[in-house]
Structure 1
Amino acid sequence: MPERTIGADLDATVAAHADRDALVEMASGRRWTYAQLRHDVDELARGFLAMGVQPGDRVGIWAPSCAEWTLTQYATAKIGAVLVTVNPAYRTHELQYVLAQAGASVLVCTQSFKGSDYPQMVAEVRDELPELREVVVIGTPSWDALVAGARSVDADELARVGDGLAPDDPINIQYTSGTTGFPKGATLSHRNILGNGWFVGEGCRYTHEDRICIPVPFYHCFGMVMGNLAATSHGACMVIPAPAFDPALTLAAVAAERCTSLYGVPTMFIAEWALPDRESYDLSTLRTGIMAGSPCPAELMRQVLDAGISDMTICYGMTETSPVSTQTSPDDPFEAKVGTVGRVGPHLEVKVVDPTTGETVPRGEPGELCTKGYSVMLGYWREPQKSAEAIRDGWMHTGDLAVMDDEGFVRITGRIKDVVIRGGENIYPREIEEFLYTHPDVLDAQVIGVPDERYGEELMAWVRLREGAEPMTAQSLRDFCTGRLAHYKIPRFVHVVDDFPMTVTGKVRKVEMREAAAQILRRDRA
């Protein structure tokens, strides 16, 4: 285990690989060696200290993948500030909640992304965030002022702060959609995410010669842990192909930077392999990578292997476990790479239990997957009761149904709760239902997942309207949600009903709703 802080780990890597490439941002053409990366990270860290940020303070970051995101990640780690990662798809409703719940005193944000004015959205909710003291906008004078503040704090002061940090200190809060209507802040330590980045990198057999193309978002553990921390803990190079996923720009980055590793959820790989000119990209340097987020189709894995990416791995986990618990090995048989999510990682334990009794079930029998070890989060930020419900005797209860075979390979067979996985994004219907209740015409709402060829699942809202309400269409409901919910949480389909199918005890039968929805969609497409 790398029993040290993220800042100390970066310093050790710089000492060994100062002149090697550390970071490449394709959109701007900017590049950093490890020595240059540490210079800019330390300068930004001193700027945060000059701003008054102290160890334990929460600093939010709300931006797409960019070099400043990475610099902020490591600068806050250097001074022990807790980085609050905000999904760039969030809108005012969600932004206000997570910044308030985390108690963020500083927010770093982008100027604009996909047509949205981020400072304007911050301004709309600023009065409801009394703890938010500073807003720093990347690429503006406020960012320049933050960096310039470093002149008032010397290197000795930064070192003194760093020496006072410990591996088990909280360093990151990642918000996961909650079943209670609001996201929960999984609180992660240096040890959690540095250890996970290190071992995932070991699983990919990284060395300082590797160059990792990271098209997955930094706000998620996939990007900032499995991508950035796996790279810096091994002296490898981080390549940012674009601010948001673009299949052509991703393959162009692989070719131009001679990348050896490529990340993505299956839908990303499907989009890349579907490019009509894919053969024109030189992917010959690719050796390994990670596919995660949802099951890998067998045909897709065959295409990846046929392209020469012989060491592609599959990972499984959740934000609350930093995130990876299991990973396939390059040496595993093909059947394991497409039918399982691998075996348990180093210094971790997994077990499959009866969801009702909590007793461990025999190999080959289904049950709830639980995991234990260094990767389990410290808890949900400011929510001790929810933390105690999720972590029992050190075991994180994932809510996923799984089967473990005699060789230790784990196969995910379903989900205990009604989480919808759309293109690798975990979406909890309860959160969206709570928001739909704010619509003046909605009496009640239920959200389910329906099959979709492109994303795996799409969202469908069943709504009961108030008496006298105007007729509702899918478009009118989407218009209500746009700008207030992340795009991937906005239901694609809407079905207006008088009543929901219920059990005799008064619970909504979502299984029956999903069956009916499939028939409705087939009829509408006919």
Structure 2
Amino acid sequence: MPEQQEPSYAHGTGATALLGDTIGRNLDRAIAAHPDREALVDVPSGRRWTYAEFGRAVDEVALGLAAHGVRKGDRVGIWAVNCPEWVLVQYATARLGAIMVNINPAYRLHELAYVLRQSGVEMLIASTEYRSSDYRAMAAEARADCPRLREVVHIGDPEWDRLAADGAALDAGYLTAREAELSCDEPVNIQYTSGTTGFPKGATLSHHNILNNGYFVGGTVGYTEQDRVCLPVPFYHCFGMVMGNLGATSHGACIVIPAPVFDPGATLHAVQQERCTSLYGVPTMFIAELGLPDFASYDLTSLRTGIMAGSPCPVEVMKRVMGEMHMAEVSIAYGMTETSPVSTQTRRDDDLEARTETVGRVLPHLEVKVVDPTTGVTVARGTAGELCTRGYSVMLGYWDEPDRTAEVVDEGRWMHTGDLAVMREDGYLAIVGRIKDMIIRGGENVYPREIEEFLYTHPKVSDVQVVGVPDERYGEEILACVIPRDPADPPTLEEIDAFCRDRLAHYKIPRHLRILSGFPMTVSGKVRKVELREQFAASAGAVSGAVSAAG
């Protein structure tokens, strides 16, 4: 009989047990163990907190919220760019058992009002203004349409200072009594996923979900109280608040805020000034940092690790990050908001291939499998299918939307990611695309990631995204959207065709080309492929040559 292939299933084991704490109790452990070590540094303002000072500041905000009527289960919105107050609100709401609602700082009035209404936010804590966003004016206007919203507090205004001062009237034992009533399985956070169709969904996460995920992500890169973690990624996203903040405090490490929003120069300045040992980012952030004209002038020798997530990292970029940025132990992480977020991660001693060709292997206490998207049956290793994950990290559900929850979390509590993956024989996973991104050309399944990785090696290509566009003959045809290395000398379709010929199957060769100056992005740094498809679908037939377009 032929040898039966191993199924695409793996479960994570480890010697370290899951944490049974609430976030507040876990912070108390860090404060007791490391009272005099730095917990939080805000480079723009120069403010610093030791763990003991950070704990007192968190308690002040928690008591202030309580004095303003916030109780267990109440929703408190946070709509702000990265700042220390964001972090204080995160831990203060957790202490009270309130549910913090993360609101994307790029949201405008329509999106803000939807999130406030859908989650039932009672108090909103917001920035005042940043760049073109007037948060004060938008919050005032949204309030008229949100009857449950009873108070708005703007960071930096006197009302923020009053909030903390008002808590002084409460007894010091108030928080201890409140925390004694909390379970780690209760909701503590709602994060809105940027859906490609319809309104975003509020992934509801518990203390157990996000505390453990931050703890094991940090443990996988070897965090101790000696580490200093530079976070240019947004706090409103799991990357910042879970993998970053909770990943640091659960190990007694220090959170370093380089700037309110991503700035490559400010990021490297913070790493140098604060002697950071770890740096986070999506690949485009690292590309921007490496591309600074004065990159070589920064002393980055304190770095040893970091986390890269959000999208695949080109091989040449990874080589420079590991070499020129001294991040020999940099880790690739894969996940989604609904799984708190990380399911798989590369290990500290993995080779270059694992860091660029895979998203690592399953984390401790989690399960992953790859299934046939149609039948749900687990496929053999080496076969593409939908990646599913199960365990402590799977969200409680979408807030107040059980039907939408049932669409992605099945009866066995498996979260269906919508990502197409291949599990190797060694258990490492490669993401080959989204089910919705997969291009079906003349009956052939085409995975954009494979073509993108190949086109990255073209000497005239700086960045590339491949999408499918409608085609009368083949159903879909392949469009390459390219950012050239030299805008004055972009590649032509003929050059792309010649580069691909004899090295890619004929049906994988792009038939259309768009030259762009940039890609539409989410705030968390992911390319919005759906926008590229929509933008160029109608004109695909007219872009078979090297046509320039503003990005």
Map of 1:323 onto structure 2: 341
Aligned to 1:6: 23
* Structure 1 residue 524, shift from structure 2 partner: 4.1
State the TM-score, normalizing by the size of structure 2.
0.79
Aligned-partner SS, 1:397: strand
Instruction: Give the CA deviation at 1:523.
Output: 2.9
Q: Percent identity?
A: 60
Cα distance in 2, alignment partners of residues 68 and 398 from structure 1: 33
Matching of residue 414 in structure 1 with residue 433 in structure 2: yes
* C-alpha distance in 1 between matches for 2:88 and 2:344: 29
Secondary structure in 2 matching 1:18? coil
Contact in 1 for aligned 2:233/2:524 (Cα 8 Å): no
**What is the number of equivalent residue pairs in this alignment?**
460
**Cα deviation, residue 514, structure 1:** 8.3
- Cα 1:410/1:493, change in 2 over 3 Å: closer
Question: Which of residues 331, 347, 350 is equivalent to 1:313?
Answer: 331
Distance 1:490 1:356, change over 3 A: closer
- Residue 182 of structure 1 deviates from its aligned partner by 0.1
Residue aligning to 1:256: 273
Tell me the equivalent position of 1:401: 420
Provide the residue aligned with 1:60 in structure 2: 77
* Equivalent pair of 2:367/2:391 in contact (CA under 8 Å): yes
Which residue number in structure 1 is paired with residue 193 of structure 2?
176
State whether residues 370 and 379 of structure 2, in contact with CA within 8 Å, keep that contact through their aligned partners in structure 1: yes
What do the CA deviations read for 1:259-312 (whole angstroms, capped 9, x no partner)? 000000000000001111111111000000000000011001100111221100
Pair 1:523-2:547 in alignment: yes
Q: 1:164 aligns with which of 170, 174, 181?
A: 181
Match of 1:112 in 2: 129
C-alpha separation between the residues in 2 aligned to 1:269 and 1:306? 13
Contact 2:234 2:524 in 1 (8 A): no
Q: Note the C-alpha offset of 1:90.
A: 0.5
> Structure 2 counterpart of 1:213, which letter?
C
Q: Which residue matches 2:475?
A: none
The secondary structure found in structure 2 opposite 1:155 is: coil
- Secondary structure at the aligned position of 2:19 is classed as coil
Give 1:453 deviation, angstroms. Answer: 3.1
> Per-residue deviation at 1:525?
5.7
Are 1:453 and 2:483 matched, yes or no? yes
Deviation at 1:347, TM superposition (A): 0.3
Q: Specify whether residues 362 and 512 from structure 1 end up closer, same or farther in structure 2 by C-alpha distance, changes over 3 A only.
A: farther
**Number of the residue aligned with 1:304:** 321
Cα distance, 1:261–1:514 mapped onto 2, change above 3 Å: farther
TM-aligned CA distance change 1:517 to 1:161, over 3 Å: farther
Which residue in 2 is equivalent to 1:342?
360
Query: For residue 516 of structure 1, what is the amino acid of its counterpart?
Result: A
**1:226-305 mapped onto 2 (5 Å cutoff):** 226-305=243-322
Between the aligned partners of 2:163 and 2:534, the Cα distance in structure 1 is: 50
Per the TM alignment, residue 152 of structure 1 is displaced from its structure 2 partner at its CA by: 1.6
* 2:373 partner amino acid: P
**Structure 1 residue 22: Cα displacement:** 0.4
User: Aligned partners of 1:272, 1:450: CA distance in 2, in Å?
Assistant: 25
Q: Is contact 2:388–2:417 with CA below 8 Å preserved after alignment? A: yes
Aligned-residue Cα RMSD (Å) equals 2.8
- CA–CA distance in structure 2, aligned partners of residues 385 and 318 of structure 1: 19
Between the aligned partners of 2:215 and 2:405, the Cα distance in structure 1 is 26
Measure the CA separation in 2 of the matches of 1:489 and 1:305.
Answer: 22
Other structure's SS at 2:144 match: helix
Q: CA deviation at 1:151?
A: 1.3
**Cα 1:514–1:451 shift into 2, 3 Å:** farther
Report Cα offsets for 1:225-260 as digits up to 9, x if no partner: 000000000000000000000000000000000000
Confirm or deny that 1:361 pairs with 2:391: no
Where structure 1 has 5 or more consecutive residues not aligned to the other structure, the ranges are: 425-447, 456-484, 496-508
> Given the alignment, which residue of 128, 138, 159 partners 1:142?
159
Residue 116 of structure 1, CA deviation: 1.8
Q: Which amino acid aligns with 1:416?
A: I
d(CA) in 2 for partners of 1:161 and 1:63?
A: 27
The answer for the alignment partner of 1:513 in structure 2 is 537
Superposed, 1:47-126 pairs within 5 Å as 47-126=64-143
Distance 1:381 1:521, change over 3 A: farther
Distance 1:18 1:331 in 2: 32
Secondary structure of the 2:191 match is: strand
Which ranges in structure 2 are unaligned for 5 or more consecutive residues? Answer: 1-17, 439-447, 450-462, 464-477, 486-521
Equivalent AA in structure 2 for residue 365 of structure 1 = T
- Alignment map for 1:19-34 (pairs within 5 Å): 19-34=36-51
- Residue 294 and residue 332 in structure 1: after superposition, are their counterparts in 2 closer, same or farther (change >3 A)? same
TM-score normalised per structure 1: 0.83
Looking at structure 1, the residues matched to 338 and 479 of structure 2 have their Cα atoms a distance apart, in angstroms, of 23
1:450·1:514 contact (CA, 8 Å) conserved in 2?
A: no
Query: Counterparts of 2:286 and 2:356 in 1: how far apart (Å)?
Result: 14
Q: What is the CA–CA distance in structure 1 between the aligned matches of 2:345 and 2:525, rounded to whole Å? A: 27
**Residue 494 (structure 2) aligns with:** none
Is 1:380 matched up with 2:398?
yes
1:155: Cα distance to partner?
A: 1.9
- Amino acid aligned to 2:318: M
Secondary structure in 2 matching 1:311: coil
Q: Secondary structure at the residue paired with 1:148?
A: helix
Distance (Å, rounded) in 1 between the aligned partners of 2:399 and 2:524: 25
Map Cα deviations across residues 315-350 of structure 1 (whole Å, 9 max, x no partner): 000000000000001111211110000000000000
Q: In the alignment, what sits opposite 2:171? A: 154
Query: Secondary structure in 2 aligned to 1:453?
Result: strand
CA–CA separation in structure 1 for the residues paired with 2:535 and 2:128: 43
AA aligned to 2:420 is L
Does the aligned pair in 2 maintain the 1:267–1:454 contact within 8 Å?
no
Residues 224/489 of structure 1: CA separation in 2 closer, same or farther (3 Å cut): closer
CA distance in 1, matches of 2:280, 2:526: 23
